[in-house]
Structure formats: C-alpha cells, structure tokens
Amino acid sequence: MTTIDLGVPGLGPSGLAGVPALAEGETLTRKDFAPGNEVRWCPGCGDYAVLAAVQAFLPDLGLRRENIVFVSGIGCSSRFPFYLDTFGVHSIHGRAPAFATGLATARPDLNVWVVTGDGDALSIGAGHLLHTLRRNVNLTILLFNNRIYGLTKGQYSPTSESGKLTKSTPAGSVDAPFNPVSLALGAEATFVARTLDSDRKHLTEVLGAAARHRGTALVEIYQNCPIFNDGAFDVLKDSEESQARLVRLRAGEPVTFGGPDGTANAVVARRDGGGVEVISSEFAAAQGLAPIVHDPAADDPAAAFALSRLDDVTLSHVPVGIFRNVSRPTYDDLVRAQVDGAVSAAGGPAGDSALAALLGGADTWTVD
Amino acid sequence: MSSQTTTIAPISNGAHHPASAVRGVDHVVIRFAGDSGDGMQLTGDRFTAETAALGNDIATLPNFPAEIRAPAGTLPGVSSFQLHFADHEVLTPGDAPDVLVAMNPAALKANLGDVRRGGTIIIDTDAFTRRNLTKVGYATDPLTDGSLESYDVHRVPLTALTVEALADLALGRKDAERSKNMFALGLLSWLYSRPTDGTRRYLETKFAQRPHILAANLRAFEAGWAFGETTETFAVRYEIAPAPAKAGRYRNITGNVALSYGLVVAAQQAGLRLVLGSYPITPASDVLHTLSGLKRFGVTTLQTEDEIAGIGAALGAAYGGALGVTTTSGPGLSLKSEMLGLAVALELPLILCDIQRGGPSTGLPTKTEQSDLLQAMFGRHGEAPLPVIAAASPTDCFDIAIEAVRIAVTYRTPVILLSDGYLANGSEPWRLPDVTLLPRVDPGFAAAPTDPEAPVFRPFDRDPETLARPWALPGTAGLEHRIGGLEKADGTGEISYDADNHDRMVRLRQAKIDGVSVPDLGVDDPTGDADLLVLGWGSTYGPVAAAVRDARAAGRQVARAHLRHLNPFPVNLGAVLRRYPQVLVPEMNLGQLALLLRARYLVDVVSHTSVRGQPFASGDLLNVITAMTSPSPQARLGYDLSSGVN
C-alpha cells in the first residue's frame, strides 16, 4: 500500500473555519436565537438551563445565524432544535450523528451541532456515536445525561446505575452502565468534556472550546430530570458536597480539589497499574507524591482515560472540564480534499465532454 | 464453406489448418463454468467485449456463489457466465446453452442439465481426476461412461496444454495453471471468430505492472487460439454476423455501472453534488465501487458504519442541498425503512437504489428476485407514500436513474429505484446518449427573502401544481426553520398534534405522490386485436419480450406492455388492463404486482411466478402464452395457472 499525501488545505485549529462570520460591526444577541415559541419541557428540567446557556453563548461565536444547524435524535433533549432560531432538524431515534455526518461533509460552510441524550446516543444510536467519534467529523455533540428515559416515562437508561428501580426494572436494573467519557475516549474521540447543566459559567466555557475544536467534540452534560430521576446530581450542586466531589480539570494545572473556595485538600495521583487515585493532600505531601498535571493535549489518551475512571455512579469524585483536546484531520475535510483534489487535477469541474468520455469508457464501437 | 471475411486478426503465425469449415449461424448461447477461482467471470467478460466489438447483439448472465472461494472442485463452488449473442436483437441471456465450457467435473455436473440436447461441451480433461469426480458424486467418469452421448463433446487437456505453452516462462506449475481460463478464451475466440485486439489491450493494461503475469496470460490466450486453428478437434468454426443496430457509438455495460453513470449525469445536469451514503451489500456494492472512483465528477461517497447511517448521511446531505443517494439490497432496505419515513416526513429529495436479490433474510445474495416490490411500496410505518420505479434492462438502469432524480427533485420526495441482481451484473450493448440532450431538472432552491420585513418563512407551503415544498438550504438568510419527524402544521411546519391538520397532511403527502407525472403506458399490440396482454415490470422485460416475439412468430396475437413506474402507476394503466380479456403478469416473486393491480383496478390478472434466483426462461413464458392464446378452450383450461414454473 502506498500512502497518499492528502495535502489537506485549511486544517486550521478552529472548528469554525470556513463558516461565514458576521460582517464587521454586526452582532447578534441571545434574543436573536430564541424563536419565541413555547418551550415544552417539564418545569424544573435541566434542559432549560442548557438552552439558556446555549442561546446566550451562540452570539459569542460571531457566526451568521443561518449557517448554524442543530440536529437531534429523539428524546426530551432532542426537542432542543425547536427552541433555537437557527436551522434545525429533529431526526429519528439515535441517528442524528449519521444525518449530521452527511450534512457536515456536504457543507463545510455550516456549523453543525448534534443534541442527544443518554438513551439516544448510548443505546439505540451507540453505533453511530462511536463511528462519528472515530471518524472525527467536524461536529459538536451535546450529550444530555440524566441517567433515565424521560420521554417514554421513566425506564432505566444505559447510564443508569445498576440496581436502579424503574418502571421497567421493578426488581432493579441488572445492566452495568456506560461511562460516556470513557466510551468516547476509547472510540478515538479528539475532544471529550463533561460539564453540569446548573453551572452556567463552566458550561459556557466548555461549549466555547468544543465549538472551536475542529473534529468531533463530545460534551457530556449532567442534567437533572425532575420527574423521573430527580436529584440525580444534587450532590454535585450542593455547595459543600460538591467541593469534595467535583474535580475541575484545567489544562497545565495540577489536579487537586476538595478544599473550600477552590483550595485543595485532595490530589489526584498516579497509582500502580496505570490508573489514578484520590489521596489527601496531607498524605501526598508525607509520601512525596505529586498531583498529576492535566494535559488534555497529550497524544496518548491513557491519562484522560484514567481520569474518566475516577467517576462512579455514586458520584464520589467527578472530574469535569476538558479531558481530551487533540488535533487530528477530520473526516469531512479529508473526504472533501479527495474530491476537490480529483476535480482540480482534472482541470476543474466536469463538463459535457468529460461526461461523454466517462460514458464511453475504453471500449466502444461504431455502427454506421 | 463460407468465405465471408471478418475483422479477425490472425493471432498466430503458425500454419493455418485448412480443415476447419466456417459456418454462419444466427445466434449462440455459451456458458463458461468452472471453480470460483478459475476466472470464469473474467473469461465471460472478455468474450462479451470481443463479441460486442464485432457488432453482435448480446445479453449476459453471470451466476456465482455467495461464498468467495468455496472448496475447490465442489458443486457449491461452481461459478458461471452465460452470454447470448446473435445477428438480431437479443432480449435474454438465453434459456439453454448451445455450448458449455466445463473446467471441472463440478462445472459439468452443475450445468449439464441446462445444455440443449446436441449442444457442444468443451471439457478440460485434466480436471477429470478420480478425486474430482468423487468430490461431486460421479460414480463413473462421464467422459467414458456414455452419459454424454447426446452431446458434441470436445475433450481438451486444457490445463496441460496451458502449462506446456508457458513452459519457458519460469513460472511455477500453479501459476501457469491459473492462465488456463485465457487458453479457454483463446480457443472459444477462435471457434466463434472473435476479434482479439481488445483482450490483448485489456491484458496489457491490467497487468502492466506485472510483466510475467501479462506474458503468461497472453501466451495462454494465443495458445488457445492456435490450438483451435492447428488441431482437428474442431471441424467447424462459426461466424455470427453483426446485428442490425441504430447508427451510433456503442459500448457494453452492466446495470450497476449504467445506474452509477445515470446518477452522475443527472446530478451534473441538475447542478447538484452527488453524495452517496452506502454500506457494502451484494449485489449493490458495485455502485459504491463505481461511484467512489468518480470523484473527478464531484462525487462524494461515504462508506458508513451500517445501512441506517448510509441513508442517514444521504438524507443529511440532501438537507444541505446535495443529491443524496443510498444503495442497498433487501436486508438493507429493511434497515433503512425508518429513515425513509423521515425523508417522507421532511419532504426532501433522496434516491434509494434497491438492487433486489433472493429473500427473505439473507436469502440468495448473488441470485436475482423481484420480491421487494411490496416493501418498497408499503414498507414503512404510518402512511408514508413514495414513488417507486424499476429498471427494465441493464442499459435502462441509466435512464431510470435520471428519471429517479427528476421525480425526487421535482417533488421533494424520496424515490425507491428498483433494480435486481440480474440487471446489476448482466450486460448488453448500449448506444451512447448525447449528454447535451439528456433531460435536466432544476433544483429550484428557495431564495433568501429580499424584503427585510418579509414574514416568517413557511417551510411547508406547497407549489400548487406539484404540491412540493421549498428546498430551503441552511446558509440562506431568512429561511431559518426547524423541521423533523413530528407532524408539522400545514404551511408553517411547526409541530402540530391537531387532528384536522394531521388528516390534511396525511392526505397532502399522498396526493403529492399520486400526482407525480408519469408517462402513459405504451402498449405493443401490432394487430390491435390481441386478447392477451402480457404485462411485465423490472427485469422481466427481456424474457417477456422474447416470449411474445416467439409467440407472434408462431401466429399468436399477443399484446405486451412494460411498467417502469410502479408508484404512481401510469394514468392509463386501468384502461389498458380493461381493454384485454386476459392479462398475464409474470413476476419473480409470488405475485406482488398482480396483487396491486387486482386491488387497484379490480382486474383479475393472471399471475405467473418463478422464484428460482434466475431470470425467467423465455421458453417457459412462451408455453404460458401459448396455452392462454390457444384456440381450444380445453388447452387454456389445461394450463394450471395457479402453479409456478413446472
């Protein structure tokens, strides 16, 4: 096999490259992204907070509104596109990544988002999610994880904790749950992050980085379902509890947490066997153990994966932030480069004579 | 002895043996048969190309197992290629071979039953070892036990002759033996007076990087020709004059390649980028292969993770303003049905090409059938109508692809294009069209509103004539809108659960498809007083036409018509059906079109069916037509129409 130098043009760092920006001096506000229709989520649903954050954040991208497309699957969160005054498609269960892959490949001038949930992305659509991450299509995927099926009224999901009592598991779920971040890292994702519906500032920061990442950016958003799984993430929202549990990942900084007001009384250190563990700052100091320094740009995803394994269903330690953010050629850029390269190598778009030559092939005969 | 001159170039400088007489014949059916690894498909392809170049009309029928290399010498491993060529119009690959080339006992055993009594059988005697005979259950050697007495058998030690011809090329015995298909091709090329330049050029191109393989193939090919010329094995060689054909430039083409080219041309003519989303599946994969090599024409091919993603990506591309296409066969059609429903709901152009094969389930992957018609028509939940069209012949795959694009783009709808394994792999001469004269369709994308005070865009306002909605592309300022699979309010496209609105939208979607403009059905009824109409669809075109031709030659008055549009049907179909006292509908399924016709038109058509993985034999159809047009009522009743092929 010979390796072909694809000579991919314009592989800039930004996922927004090629998407038309607003004219100089032109700006949009959150109101421009609110279509003014009635939002139909349940009162108290975490989706409201995410919607508000996204509507407020989109103007920051400086893009023309008509060049933004939100594609979703099926589920409560998948109603999201209806509440944004951009282009939007509410597709079918689990298949939004497939639809978005075709769209993003056909249209490099669009900023394409996928909105999905834990059932949509990790159950019925798990295959598409994994292959989209593997291919690294230029998309931003918002995975709303509430660990329950909401729209079908309360069955357990592929992220529900084992033993969960739901309508379809009266004796407790016997399924082992997925950890979406671990799964994405295993699927060769180039950008993986986690954030919380209730932390507007953190959510906005993560969204900004995700949108600007060229390639598939997966953002898991822990999101509360007040009807069927209320309070699932309360310990991460309580100001005291959260200090002991939330591990905020910051590029280039030691991974520490646990103290009041951002101080640390615990560190994340390497453990024999390749993983990481949480130890008290005191113990670390006594043993001379340094906290690991977070490097989302590391080529090797092993450290990011180890961090993702700190999380468990009891939420005792939950890393949030950007686990991984590396650059790799995107699928859609490569596909377009092959086509554009072939067209330009042939001297430009095909005309009638090129078509006639194609149809004729190599072996023709003439009847007079 | 005829002394007609032909375009055959002498291939050997050896002395021309004067013993062989040359006899003109009007048609021949040849079947090459051997192990899957014997190169029979290539041999058949090359013989076809030589024959096409000579100007004979042709139809071909490759037939191969689903296994790539079943155990050597066994019956399941037999691969064959049949071609029918003539000095007149050829409509089918032929019912019974006149000539069988059998490269081993398995090939003989699997194919002998089809060969016409008195036909010619050319056998590689080297493969008729005790072991190979036992493998396929021959208790005695058919070469010596008299069982082939009613055939004209030519025993040729093909393998040994090939090895001998390549003796000085320093090839291993195995490598040398692999060229025996070229020896057979050379021999048959001599026997049927085929031109050889094309095969030489083909080999020179194919093996340009491997000179020793090229040398071996050329040498074997020449040795086969020389063998025919210099031995007395064959007393007669044959010539088949060119068939009369319309003036023009021709090539030979398979259905799958013609389909691919039709899609490319239609996209180009419409100014649309072609985006194919596809998952490999037999017998559709050749469309993916062909299109993936046409990037120079702006064609994008995405080999996706599964069938659903294939149609999903195509629909996403269509939403973005590309010509979205997905290709598949039966099992894939099942998987794609939910996304087809979304395409119906979104009302976006999309082409689904279903290259049908034997079903249900995995069924007969490499064999042909027409049994997806009802799934294409109705295989979606809810009321989800869409246009269905079907190719009639390998070359019609080109035209039907252009027709699919016209309908999809004009009416903003998914279209199912039905082909089948026979059309996909079969080939025939194709008179090249003038691309500048082919139909063009204007995508007519919705324009950005010029008035800044323009009212909010209504994505489900319809064209009053076609009922098509706007194709409103992302990136167009002022057209921002949200749509999806939930029911939409008429006009605005907002989510609506209103009862009246749903009733209206269901009927609007149906009315749009019912109103697709379809050409009237043409009827071939030379005398105008036939009392039997034979109505075909899809790949029954050839066998039906051949059978009707033969019936007329025998003095029967028969009318014939062929449906390319299955949904909606041509407007005049009901009137045509009612015009004839008897209507015969032959199908390679258990009567799916017949069911539709009876339901739609209350006409009691006669269903004649065959599900053997092979196209209809025209002789079988002729028997049915003969019975149905017999002047004796007894003969008519004597034919049990409820049964399939006997």
pLDDT in tens, B23-60: 999 999 999 999 988 999 999 999 999 998 888 999 99
Minimal Cβ distance to A128: which of B198, B295, B305: B305
Task: Confirm whether B126 is domain-assigned.
Answer: yes
Residues B232 and B274 in one domain: no
Q: Which of A31, A101, A138 to mutate to test the interface with B (most CBs of B within 10 A)?
A: A101
Minimal Cβ distance to A361: which of B251, B294, B341: B251
Residues B136 and B282 in one domain: no
Q: What is the CATH number for B175? A: 3.40.920.10
Q: Is the pLDDT of residue B481 over 50?
A: yes
Q: What is the pLDDT of residues B437-473, one digit of tens each?
A: 999 999 999 999 998 888 899 999 999 999 999 999 9
Of B239, B272, B307, which residue constitutes the final position of a domain? B239
Is residue A344 helix, strand or coil? helix
In A, residues 145-204, which contact B (CB 8 Å cutoff)?
A: none
Confidence of residue B6 (pLDDT cuts 50, 70, 90): very low
Please choose, from the candidates B576, B541, B422, B270, the residue with its C-alpha nearest in 3D space to the C-alpha of residue A355.
Answer: B270
Whether A216 and chain B come into contact, CB under 8 Å, resolves to: no
Residues B492 and A114: their CA atoms lie apart, in Å, by: 24
Q: How far is A277 from chain B (nearest CA, A)?
A: 37
Q: What is the pLDDT at residue B11? A: 43
- This prediction has a pTM of 0.93
Q: Are B224 and B183 in contact (CB under 8 A)?
A: yes
Minimal Cβ distance to A102: which of B53, B242, B275: B275
Q: Read off the pLDDT of each residue in A205-223 and give the average, rounded to a whole number.
A: 97
Residue B21 has which token pair?
């007489």
Contact: A359, B265; criterion CB under 8 Å: yes
Q: What is the pLDDT at residue B634? A: 64
Residues B233 and B256 in one domain: no
Helix axes B40-54, B180-191, angle to 10 degrees: 30
In A, residues 66-105, which contact B (CB 8 Å cutoff)?
A: 66-67, 69, 71-72, 74, 81-82, 84-92, 95, 97-105
Is residue A162 helix, strand or coil? coil
Residue of A nearest to B299 (CA): A339
Confidence of residue B500 (pLDDT cuts 50, 70, 90): very high
Residues B561 and B549: their CA atoms lie apart, in Å, by: 13
Residues B184 and B280 in one domain: no
Contact: B316, A354; criterion CB under 8 Å: no
Q: Which domain holds residue B290?
A: 251-437
Q: What is the pLDDT of residues B377-422, one digit of tens each?
A: 999 999 999 999 999 999 999 999 999 999 999 999 999 999 999 9
Residues B290 and B225 in one domain: no
- Residue B178's CB is within 10 A of a number of other CB atoms, namely 20
Paired with B122 in beta bridges are: B101, B154
Task: Confirm whether B504 is domain-assigned.
Answer: no
Residue A227 has which token pair?
């009807």
Question: Burial letters for A56-76: b for 16+ Cβ neighbours within 10 Å, e otherwise?
Answer: bbbbebebbbbbbbbbbbbbb
Residue of B nearest to A69 (CA): B474
Q: How many structural domains does chain B have?
A: 3
- The alpha-carbon radius of gyration of chain B (Å, integer) is 27
Residues B111 and B224 in one domain: yes
Task: Confirm whether B43 is domain-assigned.
Answer: yes
Q: How far is B424 from chain A (nearest CA, A)?
A: 17
Whether B196 and chain A come into contact, CB under 8 Å, resolves to: no
Task: Confirm whether B396 is domain-assigned.
Answer: yes
Q: Give percent helix, percent strand, percent coil of chain B, each to the nearest 5.
A: 40, 20, 40
- With beta carbons under 8 A apart, name residues in chain B contacting A364: 249-251, 432
Residue of B nearest to A344 (CA): B296
Q: Which of A110, A332, A338, A363 to mutate to test the interface with B (most CBs of B within 10 A)?
A: A363
Q: What is the pLDDT at residue B631? A: 81
Q: What is the CATH number for B567? A: 3.40.50.920
The strand pair at B532-537 and B582-587 is best described as parallel
Task: Confirm whether B65 is domain-assigned.
Answer: yes
Residues A212 and A205: their CA atoms lie apart, in Å, by: 11
Q: Which of A139, A364, A366, A368 to mutate to test the interface with B (most CBs of B within 10 A)?
A: A364
Q: What is the CATH number for B392? A: 3.40.50.970
Confidence of residue B347 (pLDDT cuts 50, 70, 90): very high
Of B437, B472, B504, which residue constitutes the final position of a domain? B437
Residues B36 and B87 in one domain: yes
Q: What is the pLDDT at residue A259? A: 82
In B, residues 452-491, which contact A (CB 8 Å cutoff)?
A: 474-486
Q: Following DSSP, what letter does each residue of B283-319 receive, concatenated? A: TTHHHHHHHHT-GGGT-EEEE-SSHHHHHHHHHHHHH
Please choose, from the candidates A149, A88, A91, A87, the residue with its C-alpha nearest in 3D space to the C-alpha of residue A122.
Answer: A149
Residues B208 and B261 in one domain: no
ipTM of the complex, rounded to two decimals: 0.96
Cα A229 to Cα A103, A157, B109, distances in angstroms? 34, 11, 68
Residues B183 and B280 in one domain: no
Helix axes B197-206, B180-191, angle to 10 degrees: 160
Q: How far is A285 from chain B (nearest CA, A)?
A: 50
Contact: A349, B321; criterion CB under 8 Å: no
Please choose, from the candidates B442, B476, B440, B441, the residue with its C-alpha nearest in 3D space to the C-alpha of residue B459.
Answer: B476
Task: Confirm whether B181 is domain-assigned.
Answer: yes
- The alpha-carbon radius of gyration of chain A (Å, integer) is 23
Residues B219 and B284 in one domain: no
Q: Read off the pLDDT of each residue in A93-116 and give the average, rounded to a whole number.
A: 98
Residues A108 and A137: their CA atoms lie apart, in Å, by: 11
Q: Are B57 and B242 in contact (CB under 8 A)?
A: no
Residues B224 and B270 in one domain: no
Q: What is the pLDDT of residues B259-297, one digit of tens each?
A: 999 999 999 999 999 999 999 999 999 999 999 999 999
Residue A193 has which token pair?
């992050």
Of B239, B260, B288, which residue constitutes the final position of a domain? B239
Task: Confirm whether B466 is domain-assigned.
Answer: no
Residues B295 and B340 in one domain: yes
Return the percentage of chain B with pLDDT > 90, whole number.
87
Task: Confirm whether B412 is domain-assigned.
Answer: yes
Domains of chain A, with CATH numbers? 30-252+295-344 (3.40.50.970), 254-293 (no CATH)
